[in-house]
Structure 1
């Protein structure tokens, strides 16, 4: 059951040798708007407040941008509500063409966006280029879906009437995006909303708002009308989002982030019975069976664990390896991980960039220390890396014992933790022993086992003999405490549509006194 291994969707044949260095970095930073986007205009915060955005690889301030207040959040909702009818009644083809122009502009400016993401988030430049490709695909996919919003028509079972099922935009939406994929998470939410005919207020992550601001500016250039997309970066997310969620004009909430925050938002959304999409935490198992192709398994493991320096909700968190192949698997991944270069993402050959802040470093170190104290063995890494910047050495742990916090907590760092199993049933039970269910991975050459895993693993997504599953054309999302709803695929636009049923009398049914 061998499949080819990839990382991101294939990168188009564009020049990837664009200049880096202080001049290039400053040039891209100079392109980023510093204000809030409200009703098509870049404006200051109501109180004039600003905050700094910092490069996690150096600690240097990259830019100072407007810090939205609760009043600004409501001003953004005012604009989205005012633009609601006009955008909802814009012909689907016109909405599609705006999204397609945005896709084309993003391809033209791919190096600019890639460099900006590397600066504010820290990921290696090669991965940032991959995110531009991936994020752009949501614009292209949903530009195509905009003209495919369908419906249904049927005669009712009694033969007395005709039933029509139609779909309409749900209304103004609040989109709250995370810091780890600042472009792709914005396009994954904004594109289906706009395709469906919804207007939006975007609240980007405080740590990485610059990419979203530049993307919003690109949307204006692509022809998005004033008020359709509004952006309110802030350091007080709860204060700004709370009044927006409580306002009855808001009809949709989409959030990507931690499960505890998601639970709070769901409780707030319940007051107005909002449509919600929640992409929350994960604790992904990665199963390696005794019949696995180990070359493929190692490649898949490294992709699933170390992409984005391990800072992804889809990152493999627990490596469950059959005892017959555990030693060889550990030797192979240790050799590969030990050779990974750590550094600023703009440097050639860097595989592991910084973690997002010092709290992330402390968390990774705490989890590793706890595992070692319980009997785990550090094969490579296992410590923070001296600054400047917030780095943690890529790490492999073996002999991780039950009860270790690293098996329960989402690591969000470059730490690969291995424990062993003997039987398939034992592996599945261990994989399902978590409150989360976003994604799982498994490597096996047995097709029947692969089919069994599709049935027995409690997860919203499964990577079978692959370490990356995300694709704009497929539904992304989880089960249990990993969230509700789906992003991407045909399911992605449905999240922004309401269903309406209309019954009319059968036009061919004879009624008393009727003549033909």
Structure 2
């Protein structure tokens, strides 16, 4: 049986057509999952709905114990999960191991955070009235997750949902569903009661439509493109569906002329080329003040030239394959457009399209980039670092904010007052100040403008899965 549909604590493929999962580094078949649709999604929702009363009535400590067990199992199976992730997604094995640890941290954090869901008593202005506020779980949660972080993007939703008392239906991406399958197997091993966690692989449009149209689903949480996020908002509008959306980014990196240039270059490369640039918060546009422009480029080039492209299972690989042909062609389009308009390629600039359907692209640095170029106006989602020269702090902020997106931004400055002014002027939900890798389970993750709604992680993360109920109590004399 090909696992990929888990409903009410039982695996079944329902004799459905299969989705092939291919290793993007080799073209080899890694596995298959059933191509579920509307029917299977409805069954999963029904199971989650039936399980909600008993799960939500457990104490926060009981729910935390299940999450703690799942956290421990993830660490016990860390090598196995990392290997599976590299096989189906392509990222270097060392990054996959880091993701498993990062993913598990959300379970640990929200296991504890669930014990701190506090209400409050409000002083009343009338002697015969008492006023209370309590927090209750939203209900059944439908989660749609992306391919680039197959484990973390599930646990970042699963952890707070379960800790809050919600039940869960997840639709994993067709490119990387196997990590999700293994995580749900570990949920089963952890003893999480039937119906609390459900998985449906397959037809994205059908499953998504059922999650958004079914009134038993009280909340939908999605990580993916802004275009799809807008479509989900439209579909959910009829029921005024509670939604959390972590959408596209176009992250700027601002390097002021008082920055530690060597450190800023190292952090810029760490941000830009992690996961082959296939992350929503990686630096996508780099603005460097003219006084340090040439020196900064020298440092970035020196670090970038040391990066190796290859199969994620090779020990010295830093950048794995592009996930598919569309991703590869977008990178190539952005690079060629920039060069045609006058940008200079000082590192990389070449891709490799193999007959076995694999796509690799060299880590690339473009200089003398102009704001009109495509790469400065669209999210590349690939290993290309475009660098533009700017004069003033104000100019850097202007260009950084010149986008409909507002997920993450980065600033490098050694001067407190100057750096803080720039940080405060940036219209982004996450800002890394002298930090190229800001994500953490205990911190809120989410964007402004068209980069989404809501936050994941931190104390804010669990609030997304709670309803606030105000109780006004009249006392008889």
TM over 0.5: yes
Q: 2:272 aligns with which of 296, 299, 305?
A: 305
Whether the 8 Å contact between 2:2 and 2:32 is mirrored in structure 1 is: no
Gaps of 5+ in 1: 1-31, 512-516
The alignment status of 1:37 with 2:11, answered yes or no, reads: no
Q: Distance in 2 between matches of 1:394 and 1:208?
A: 23
The alignment status of 1:122 with 2:90, answered yes or no, reads: yes
SS of residue matched to 1:166: strand
Q: 1:365 aligns with which of 320, 326, 332?
A: 332
- Runs of at least 4 residues off by over 3 Å: none
The alignment status of 1:315 with 2:297, answered yes or no, reads: no
Gaps of 5+ in 2: none
Q: Distance in 2 between matches of 1:382 and 1:33?
A: 40
Q: 2:248 aligns with which of 276, 281, 293?
A: 281
The aligned counterpart of 1:442 is 411
Q: Distance in 2 between matches of 1:421 and 1:156?
A: 57
The alignment status of 1:75 with 2:43, answered yes or no, reads: yes
Could you tell me how far 1:386 is from its partner in structure 2?
4.5
Q: Distance in 2 between matches of 1:353 and 1:239?
A: 31
Number of residues paired by the alignment?
A: 475
Q: 1:175 aligns with which of 123, 143, 147?
A: 143
Whether the 8 Å contact between 2:169 and 2:200 is mirrored in structure 1 is: yes
The alignment status of 1:410 with 2:379, answered yes or no, reads: yes
Q: 2:231 aligns with which of 260, 264, 269?
A: 264
Whether the 8 Å contact between 1:33 and 1:217 is mirrored in structure 2 is: no
Q: 1:380 aligns with which of 344, 347, 353?
A: 347
Could you tell me how far 1:402 is from its partner in structure 2?
2.1
TM-score normalized by the length of structure 1: 0.90
The aligned counterpart of 2:399 is 430
Could you tell me how far 1:160 is from its partner in structure 2?
3.7
The alignment status of 1:475 with 2:448, answered yes or no, reads: no
Could you tell me how far 1:374 is from its partner in structure 2?
0.6
Could you tell me how far 1:390 is from its partner in structure 2?
1.3
The aligned counterpart of 1:155 is 123
Q: Over the residues paired in the alignment, what is the CA RMSD in angstroms?
A: 1.2
- 1:316-363 Cα offsets, whole Å, 9 max, x none, are 000000011111111111122122111000001100100101111110
SS of residue matched to 1:324: helix
The aligned counterpart of 1:231 is 199
Q: Distance in 1 between matches of 2:231 and 2:125?
A: 44
Q: Distance in 1 between matches of 2:220 and 2:420?
A: 35
SS of residue matched to 1:162: strand
Q: 1:141 aligns with which of 90, 100, 109?
A: 109
The aligned counterpart of 1:8 is none
SS of residue matched to 2:245: strand
